[in-house]
Amino acid sequence: MRDIGHFIGGKNVAGKSGRSANVLMPMDGTVQGKVALASKDEIRAAVENAKAAQPGWAATNPQRRARVLMKFLDLVQQEYDSLAELLAKEHGKTIPDAKGDIQRGLEVVEFCIGAPHLLKGEFTDGAGPGIDVYSMRQPLGVVAGITPFNFPAMIPLWKIAPAISAGNAFILKPSERDPGVPMRIAELFIEAGLPEGVLNVVNGDKEAVDAILDDPDIKAVGFVGSTPIAEYIYSRGCAAGKRVQCFGGAKNHMIIMPDADMDQTVDALIGAGYGSAGERCMAISVAVPVGKQTADRLVEALIPRVESLKVGPSTDPSADFGPLVTQQALDRVKGYVDLGVEEGAKLVVDGRGFKMQGYENGYYMGGCLFDHVTPDMRIYKEEIFGPVLSVVRADTYEDALKLPTEHEYGNGVAIFTRDGDAARDFASRVQVGMVGVNVPIPVPIAYYTFGGWKGSNFGDLNQHGPDAFRFYTKTKTITSRWPSGVKEGAEFVIPTMN
């Protein structure tokens, strides 16, 4: 049984609050550890360590800071397999999927090695008589990230890497469900040369979250999770005068045009809808075939593929997906399937009764497929976050376009077609933040930004890419004039370029 505390001031420290939570192994339901839940005082200890370390780190030149990230990448590569195994055992996703989780985080670290270039300001020589104007990007100070259970490596790295490479100190509050990888990430950063105190990890629940939001020395907070919590964190953080960036829920559609390659489409839907047991904010959960013939062909092709999905323990390399993260998550998803049946949707594949031999206490569920789902149903409106795909039939392209455009969420969307005009029109008109054309999960590469619209995003700036450096820095603009050749005398009008 592992006891997981916090990582403060460059060291693993035991929890002092007297409160803890079980860390479960989703594939068999056993308790594999206890994680401490931080008090307000423990959050404050992390902040004090961060405050003490940040000025010296900010004074370290950007290239030297980038070298720490380079070393960190080397260290992670040496532990890639063990990190993936730890992640899979705590989260439930398969080991290949866990490796993808880590890799997508490392790609952002690689991008942040370019911080010396990304932090450069602007300069104008001779903006006026003897006047030069230039700008510089400076760190905010102590910043924090609150990250979800479903990507315990990727999303912490999306937050940590740009924040520290920009010269900030960072406090991470990961999910208490799978804290092992975030804790090891912090240890590896110290091994890579990051000064003690620049990165602190505090495990906890709402008490820790509220302490982060209320602490006056934390200047910015980033969050990824459900929309109700995103709204709460955004409003409370902004009220406390912080810069806040929150990413919430999703209901991602895939539009299937009559000319789409059906084999390619079905492959894409199976992977994007059921990978990681559907516990992805970019999972495709709604398929929208255009026209009855397209819909009939799609459902006919999907049924045997969903029925043949291989569900298995996280350690099974041949499994398509593993268990859900907790019993509560499993019950919630099954409840949505029950609801869909009550609402009148046609459940053409029912995975609720799946049991894994030898792992009867694990949180497993087979793939579910609904047909004839309508926009007034809750299973269409709300995020299910499980291995459930809904087919919403559209008579025309315009009807199909209307669905993601008018939905409450606006995270990701895809269109599958051979028609370039249709794809171009769709990409231009759909009111969603990330669009895929014959790409089912349109997560941008690390040097573009990730972010949805509407109820999926609260704040003005996205994750990773250039926006990350804008979020974690403030711009200072300097106007300088040297006396040589400048006319003396007081000036009483506002300065202009005349």
| 3-state secondary structure (DSSP) of residue 174 | coil
Distance CA 102, CA 98 (A): 6
Measured from the Cβ of residue 424, the count of other Cβ atoms closer than 10 Å reads: 11
Alpha-carbon gap, residue 310 to 336, rounded angstroms? 22
- Give the amino acid at 279: E
What would the two tokens of residue 259 be?
């000319």
Which tokens hold the place of 122? 């602007």
Q: Are 240 and 218 in contact (CB under 8 A)?
A: no
Tell me the H-state helices in 202-356: 206-214, 227-239, 262-274, 292-307, 327-343
Residue 425: partners with Cβ closer than 8 Å, 6 or more residues away: none
Is the separation of the CB atoms in 135 and 477 below 8 Å? yes
CB 62 within 8 A of CB 70: no
Assess whether 281 carries a catalytic annotation: yes
Among residues 60, 46, 39, which one has the least CA distance to residue 7?
46
Residue 362 CA to residue 73 CA, distance in Å, equals 34
Strands laid side by side in the 412-416 sheet = 346-349, 368-371, 388-391, 284-289, 252-256, 412-416, 434-437
Contact 273, 384 (CB under 8 A): no
Pairing assessment for the beta strands 30-36 and 20-25 based on DSSP bridges: antiparallel
Dihedral angle over CA of 133, 137, 142, 145, nearest 10: 140
Length of the chain equals 498
Residue type, 317: P
Please tell me the number of Cα atoms within 13 Å of 55 on its side-chain side.
Answer: 3
Which of 148, 181, 185 lies closest to 170, judged by CA? 185
Q: Is the dihedral of CA 255, 258, 263, 264 positive or negative?
A: negative
* Angle 96-27-341 from CA coordinates, rounded to 5°: 100
> Which position among 112, 238, 246, 281 bears the catalytic label?
281
Query: 286 - beta bridge partners?
Result: 253, 390
Q: Which residues are catalytic?
A: 281
